[in-house]
Amino acid sequence: MTASAHPANHEVHPRHRLNETIHAPVRFSIVAALAGADQVEFSFVRDTVEVSDSVLSKQVATLESAGVVRVKKGYVGKRPRTWLSLTAFGRRAFQEHRAALREIAGG
């Protein structure tokens, strides 16, 4: 095996570093909206990303099961509220995803 043919010597294309869970457009938008703050209310994310409650719930469930998003439920007075936030893993994964996108965008 020549030096150039050794897999370790090949540069991995940045697309291989894209996170499959985050990459889907709606999930990407949800994570991006959460990245701008520590904790965001469900309805704020819904309005910002412009999706229905149902779509947001489904995508958040996927992100939650992947450990990217944390869901916290509570009450303000008698009204139930759901808070979404990125986990430390989710924040790191999003940064790496963005870095890979930046490399692809740079050509």
Partner 1 sequence: MAPSDHPVTPVTPVPPLTPEEAGDRLDVADTLAATSGTAAARYATIPMAAVGLLAGTVLFACEGFAFSPWVSAIWVTVYVGALGASISWQYRRAPVLDHRWSLGLVAALGFTLVLCAIGIAWSAVRSPSLVVFAPYCVLVALPMALPALRTARR
Which residues are near partner 1 by CB under 8 A? 15, 18, 20-21, 23-24, 28-29, 32-44, 48-49, 54, 56-62, 64-66, 71, 73, 76, 82, 84, 98, 101-102, 104-107
Strand partners, 74: 81
Q: Which two tokens stand for residue 39?
A: 């904790």
Name the nearest CA neighbour of 66 among 14, 37, 30, 107: 30
Nearer to partner 1, 2 or 21 (CB): 21
Nearer to partner 1, 7 or 36 (CB): 36
